[in-house]
């Protein structure tokens, strides 16, 4: 008899559930706007040619398949942190502790465990409190809870303006218990597409400083707001310049298109090489019993691309093309809606950034889109702009117009 016969069935993941429903739909015009993965203008998954070329070059060398060290590939980690921090005194003076992680999810989880064990010397009376923007990526909450942290939220999105609730944000960060951990989406906020301006980032940085909050950056979409890797890292670089010791979770899923390869990095800015070495030792102690060592295939691709000027140039240009295609689909969708005579204000489609548009469609309208038009999005009205193509943009606009008339 099974020892697990009493296991209760858990709920489906809301985002992954959208794709399951889409796959079961037989309408030839169906559109999947649920999934947070880039699609090309034919609506197909996209492998960057720089990644393909890197793969061939690596295969040609008949690489070994040995274990990586517990902390992952040192070369990859060095390239990853330079991509994020740029030329930087911390990087050059050994004041960055870092490990290769199971992509952005793994980086967040490692950050959570590290904070649970060691934040403020581990001497706190209670668990670390992680404040998430309201709303945030749905996985953030379970990640930090499972890692042993407490989770709360701070004001971020204003449904009335479909943009940043800046005053509310500053107020809730000021009202939060001093010394909290504040999770910040470095750019291309998921799910809202709403990013603070540089001026606003500056003020957020000042509040965190005044309150002794720890900035924890989640950077899953570097490149997707502007098309440029450095421009999109401006938020966290500003915090570093302001003297914050930030924690950074990096994902290479979207900007290298390496989703299933699980390529990521967690880094922590420190005050000294001794501190770096102590944190690195603890990150390895966290990683070892969980998965022993991280996967090798994906980081090899990143190393190959960032280690070769020609491949790097080609990758940067394809990265920019992905961002620009999404921006052009924003414009197309908005224009199509106004040409259809929609009386609503759709400016936010253009004003929001990155892979997502927080459309403002209600749960009922989302249901209606699915049932009458075979257009699939998450219940919160988030549209993955990467799923919009030159071919389906008109059908999509007609469907959205129809449910919002």
Catalytic site positions: 137, 218, 254
- The CA distance from 213 to 169, in Å, is 14
123 CB burial (10 A radius; 0-12, 13-18, 19+): exposed
Token output for 219: 């950077």
Q: Which of residues 132-161 bind ligand PMP (CB under 6 A)?
A: 137
Using CB under 6 A as the binding rule, whether residue 190 contacts ligand PMP is answered as yes
Cis geometry, peptide bond prior to residue 191 (ω within 30 degrees of 0): yes
- Rule CB under 6 A: say whether 165 interacts with ligand PMP: no
Q: Which 3 state secondary structure label does DSSP give 267? A: strand
Q: Among residues 222, 253, 392, 404, which is the contact residue for ligand PMP, using CB under 6 A? A: 253
Our finding on whether 112 is near ligand PMP (CB under 6 A) is: no
Tell which one of 34, 36, 72, 112 touches ligand PMP (CB under 6 A): 36
For ligand PMP, give the closer residue by CB, 105 or 404. Answer: 105
Q: How far is the CB of 251 from ligand PMP (least distance, A)?
A: 3
Cα separation, 65 vs 300, in Å, equals 11
Q: Per rule CB under 6 A, is residue 220 in the interface with ligand PMP?
A: yes
| Span interacting with ligand PMP, options 24-32, 99-107, 125-133, 201-209, rule CB under 6 A | 99-107
Give least dist CB 203 to ligand PMP, A.
22
Is 329:388 a contact under the CB 8 Å cutoff? yes
Residue selected from 192, 251, 267, 280 as contacting ligand PMP according to rule CB under 6 A: 251
Dihedral, 322, 328, 331, 337 alpha carbons, nearest 10: -90
Closest CA to 180 of 280, 91, 110, 247: 247
Min separation Cβ 404 and ligand PMP, Å: 26
C-beta neighbour count of 118 within 10 angstroms: 16
Distance CA 143, CA 335 (A): 39
Q: Does 352 bind ligand PMP (CB under 6 A)?
A: no
Show the tokens assigned to 208: 């965190």
Assess 105 for contact with ligand PMP (CB under 6 A). yes
Smaller CB separation from ligand PMP, 185 or 401: 185
Site for ligand PMP contains 261 (CB under 6 A): no
Q: Where are the alpha helices (DSSP H) in 292-308?
A: 297-306
Residues that bind ligand PMP (CB under 6 A): 36, 103-105, 137, 185, 190, 218, 220, 251, 253, 259, 264
């Amino acid at each position: 008899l099974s020892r697990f016969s009493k296991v209760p069935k858990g709920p489906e993941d809301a985002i992954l559930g959208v794709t399951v429903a889409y796959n079961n739909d037989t309408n030839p015009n169906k559109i999947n706007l649920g999934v947070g993965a880039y699609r090309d203008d034919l609506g197909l998954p996209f492998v960057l040619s720089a990644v393909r070329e890197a793969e061939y070059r690596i295969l040609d060398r008949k690489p070994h398949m040995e274990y990586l060290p517990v902390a992952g590939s040192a070369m990859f980690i060095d390239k990853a942190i330079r991509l994020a921090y740029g030329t930087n005194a911390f990087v050059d003076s050994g004041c960055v502790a870092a490990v290769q992680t199971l992509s952005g999810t793994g980086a967040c989880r490692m950050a959570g465990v590290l904070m649970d064990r060691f934040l403020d010397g581990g001497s706190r009376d209670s668990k670390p409190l992680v404040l998430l923007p309201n709303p945030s990526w749905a996985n953030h909450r379970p990640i930090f809870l499972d890692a042993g942290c407490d989770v709360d939220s701070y004001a971020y999105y204003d449904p009335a303006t479909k943009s940043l609730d800046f005053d509310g944000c500053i107020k809730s960060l000021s009202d939060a218990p001093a010394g909290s951990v504040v999770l910040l989406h470095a750019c291309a906020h998921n799910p809202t597409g709403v990013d603070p301006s540089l001026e606003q980032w500056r003020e957020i940085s000042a509040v965190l400083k005044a309150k002794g909050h720890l900035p924890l950056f989640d950077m899953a979409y570097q490149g997707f707001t502007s098309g440029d890797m450095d421009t999109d890292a401006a938020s966290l670089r500003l915090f570093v310049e302001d003297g914050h010791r930030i924690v950074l979770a990096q994902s290479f899923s979207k900007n290298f298109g390496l989703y299933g390869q699980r390529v990521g990095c967690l880094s922590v800015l420190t005050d000294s090489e001794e501190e770096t070495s102590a944190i690195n030792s603890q990150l390895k102690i966290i990683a070892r019993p969980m998965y022993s060592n991280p996967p090798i295939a994906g980081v090899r691709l990143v190393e190959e691309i960032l280690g070769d000027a020609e491949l790097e140039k080609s990758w940067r240009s394809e990265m920019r093309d992905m961002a620009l295609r999404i921006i052009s689909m924003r414009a197309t969708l908005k224009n199509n809606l106004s040409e259809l005579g929609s009386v609503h204000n759709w400016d936010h489609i253009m004003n929001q950034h990155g892979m997502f548009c927080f459309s403002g469609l209600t749960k009922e309208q989302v249901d209606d889109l699915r049932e009458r038009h075979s257009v699939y999005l998450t219940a919160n009205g988030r549209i993955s702009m990467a799923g919009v193509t030159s071919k389906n943009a008109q059908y999509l606009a007609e469907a959205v117009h129809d449910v919002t008339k």
